[in-house]
Amino acid sequence: MAGQLTGKTALVTGSAQGIGLAIAKSLASEGARLAIHGLADKAQQDEAIAAVLESGATEARFFDGDLRDSDAINNLMAKVQDWGGCDILVNNAGVQETVSMEDATPEIWDRVLSINLSAAFHTMRHALPVMAERGYGRVINISSVHGLVASVNKAPYVASKFGLVGLSRVSALEYANRGNKASGGVTVNCICPGWVETSLIEPQVAARAKKYGGDREAGVADLLSEKQPSQRTSSPDEIGALALWLCSPVAHNMTGAAIPLDGGWTAQ
């Protein structure tokens, strides 16, 4: 039986592993073609492609492109367009630097903002007009709870994620009336996770674990106790499930949202 995304092509940046790969596999489960992207050697590329094909993708291909470089992004999007163009764009690639304002350098600022925010602008400016022509499109930007609330020692990261929410809302308004209910419309939304079990949080877990003689579980518990009332981390698969729902026909009026998946963090 054909899935609800059969015939649709999805580009997921940073999808060779972690949250990005989980999202790619979730979209693949409903029959999407997957454009995989990320920092990966040939073995990692092949492994990611195999994983999405096993999950149900009708086709999968790896595309490279340095997201710090607008020309490289232009080339990436041109190659995806030649492959059929993306009906679904997930801007997932991101970096984080935990650094005080005093110690933040221009180089750190530029790197975080270029990957977390500017890259999304460049992919979206290519993808959204094509989506509008087709009457269906889904842009899902993986922001963060730090796109909704701030924390100390994360100025570049917080600025980039707040900016991503703002960029998404403007784009959602500009494309809100493209397409129709039957075609699915064009929507732009953010998912804003709290603590998720990925390599991105490992430096902070390790720092907390030092207080407990290197006990990782104790470090995770200490990290969660500070911000996340549920006291539970999310898994990448849960982010993937939400992304899949946002791509469904029933989500045609869900646009301009910044959806927290944060265990109550931003409810406080």
Sorting pLDDT into bands at 50, 70 and 90, what band is 221?
confident
Nearest to 160 by CA among 147, 142, 141: 147
The Cα–Cα gap between 89 and 9 comes to 9
What residues have CB less than 8 Å from 255, skipping those under 6 apart?
Answer: 172, 175, 176, 185, 186, 187, 188, 189
pLDDT digits (tens, 9 = 90+) for 92-150: 999 999 999 999 999 999 999 999 999 999 999 999 999 999 999 999 999 999 999 99
Name the 3-class secondary structure at 248: coil
Catalytic residue among 136, 157, 175, 212: 157
The class that CATH gives domain 9-194+234-261 is alpha beta
The Cα–Cα gap between 202 and 78 comes to 35
The Cα–Cα gap between 142 and 94 comes to 9
pLDDT number for residue 242: 98
pLDDT number for residue 219: 84
The Cα–Cα gap between 96 and 205 comes to 14
Q: With contact defined as beta carbons under 8 Å apart, do 258 and 266 qualify? A: no
Nearest to 262 by CA among 204, 197, 195, 164: 195
The Cα–Cα gap between 11 and 184 comes to 18
Sorting pLDDT into bands at 50, 70 and 90, what band is 204?
confident
Nearest to 219 by CA among 236, 232, 205: 205
pTM attached to this predicted model: 0.94
212 is catalytic: no
